[in-house]
Amino acid sequence: MMLLELGSIALSVSMASAAGLVGCFAVMRRMTLAADAVSHVALPGIGVALLFHFQPVVGALAMLLLGTVLIWGIEERTGISSETIIGVVFSVALAIGSLMASGEQLIDALFGAPSVLTGWETALGLIGAAAVIIFILRAKHSLVVSLVSPDIALTTGINVARLNLLYLLAFALTVGLGLRYLGVLLMGSLIIIPAATARRLARNLTSMLLISVAIAVVSTVLGAFAGPLLHRDTGPLIITSAGTIFFLSLLKPQPQ
Amino acid sequence: MSERQRDNRVNQGVDSRQFVSALEVEHLAIRFGTTEIFGDVTFGVPRGTSLAVIGPNGAGKTVLFKALIGSLRYEGSIRWAPGTRIGYVPQKLDIERDLPITGGDFLAAKAAVVKEQKGAIVAALAGVGLNQEVLSTPVGALSGGQFQRLLVAFALIGNPNVLLLDEPAAGVDAPGQEQLSSLVRDLQEASGMTILFISHDLSIVYRYATNVLCLSRNYSYVGPPKTVLTPDVLGRIYAMPIGFHVHDVA
């Protein structure tokens, strides 16, 4: 039991770290709104899972990965910005998802419902979070070049289309990892708010990544501890903590 | 024979077969939807020479460069010599002022991707006349000229053998422009680099280009500056009389 609890803590810390890292590039790539929309696509997957009685997280992940490949494909073929495609595809997904789930199930899917995980589920979650963290740390240089200019990235030998797909998959995987804690509506916020705060406070890339991870982890731990104490759900408390830190960061004057 | 076919025959003085070509472009055409940007452009760039691309706004000069680096779909053929490593300096980029990426982050990213040592960053920075302060300054906070030079430094990391410069001197002050021009000439002379550059400054083109490609929607001419930068050709390309005389730069 103790081992499972430790695993659960490790999982939430690593999920938050992945969210902090992925978020930095989402904020710099101007995908702020897209982050919320992406998490919505998990809903039809959860709906299908509930209908056929298998793990909601599996349905959500499958749907997230499918949706990600879909927007990447549309973007590559049509040249429409991912912001627009995500806006359309994932709003439709939310609509379909809400038709498939109902009542309490829908509330759980939207806001998260922590449950006791088996050892296997915890291990898979840890592997997923580690994969995202390793990808971002290894690809950060290529991501920086391609966000400054995709054309420069091409001449630097970076496969921009492949990098975009991998980044979107890492993004989707991070959303999937956090659904249990935060649900479809709030997971996008854990990706965006710490990174948006870090962007205001940081002077270079390394400090942005570190600050973003720190805020995501602190908010998650605060939420996890405060939830049982205040008899409230952890998800909204995590986002409230992150939001409070963001508003505090506004006190810092920006260089003109 | 159409007028365009006739015009391409005017390509005076360039015979890439005499040299080993760095680049060969044949019958290149680019369309955005139903709008043709240009059609049937043919030219070659001998290794170790410089090609200036000139033409009025909207002639497709930047579009041509984007096709050359493979970021646009095109018709016709573009052949780079085997082993080509391109350093590309785009036209002005819009960078958000508060982006927490420093000059150092940007150059280190290139060095990491092309597996160069940190020393390459310092050398590239010195080459374009930027001081180390740029390394800790966010790229969005650099002046237009500083950022342009940073882009050139970025392009130089990884030992490119071809440089594509899209108006590299735009926004750079007069001493900086001179420094950039002489840097490019030195690179060409010292390392035999092939250079393609877009410029509106005909005196720079006259002094530094081995050949000139004049581009407009309906015509394209290639040749050495002396034979191409004539009132007749310039008048047809810009669709108005252009007063450029060789003694302006002599």
Give this prediction's pTM.
Answer: 0.85
CB contact under 8 A, B113 and A150: no
Nearest-CA residue of chain B relative to A141?
B109
Which residues of chain B have a Cβ shorter than 8 Å from any chain A Cβ? 66, 69-71, 86-88, 90, 93, 95, 98-102, 104-106, 108-110, 112-114, 136, 138-139, 141, 151, 154-155, 158, 164
Q: What does pLDDT average to over chain B?
A: 82
CB burial string A189-200: b at 16+ within 10 A, e below: bbbbbbbbbbbe
Q: Do B105 and A205 touch (CB under 8 A)?
A: yes
For residues B225 and B212, is the Cβ–Cβ distance under 8 A? yes
- Per-residue model confidence as pLDDT tens digits over A224-245: 888 889 988 888 899 999 999 9
Q: What is the model's pLDDT at position B230?
A: 82
**pLDDT given at position A19:** 95
Tell me the average pLDDT across B140-150: 86
The C-alpha angle A141, A143, A146, rounded to 5 degrees, equals: 110
Binding-face residues of A in 10-29 toward B, CB within 8 A: 28
B209: tokens are 């280009």
pLDDT band, residue A25 (cuts 50/70/90): very high
pLDDT exceeds cutoff 60 at B5: no
Across the interface, of B71, B113, B136, the residue whose CB is closest to A145 is B113
For chain A, positions 134-163, list CB contacts with chain B under 8 A. 140-142, 144-145, 148-152, 154-158
Instruction: Tokens for B91, please give them.
Output: 């036209």
Give the chain A residue nearest B114 (alpha carbons): A156
Is the pLDDT reported for residue B220 higher than 90? no
Q: Nearest residue on chain B to A158, judged by CA atoms?
A: B113
pLDDT at A115: 65
d(CA A143, CA A21): 12
Task: Tell me the torsion sign for CA atoms B153, B158, B159, B164.
Answer: negative
Separation CA B76–CA B80 (nearest Å): 14
Residue B65, pLDDT > 70, answer yes
Which residue, chain included where needed, has tokens 């501890």? A225
Task: Decide which of B235 and A19 is more confident.
Answer: A19
Q: A74: closest CA among A62, A63, A65, A86?
A: A86
Is the pLDDT reported for residue B70 higher than 80? yes
Listed by start position, the domains of chain A span 2-249
In order of start, what are the domains of chain B with their CATH numbers? 3-84+161-248 (3.40.50.300), 93-159 (no CATH)
Residue B1 has pLDDT above 50, yes or no: no
Q: What's domain A2-249's superfamily in CATH?
A: ABC transporter involved in vitamin B12 uptake, BtuC (1.10.3470.10)
More confident residue, B243 or A170: A170
| A13 Cβ neighbours under 8 A, 6+ residues apart | A217, A220, A221
pLDDT over 70, % of chain A: 91
Q: What tokens appear for A222 in the block?
A: 């605060």
**Cα–Cα distance measured from residue A102 to residue A65, given in angstroms and rounded to the nearest whole number:** 23
Residue B150: other Cβ atoms inside 10 A: 23
Angle CA(A74)–CA(B32)–CA(B6) in degrees, nearest 5?
150
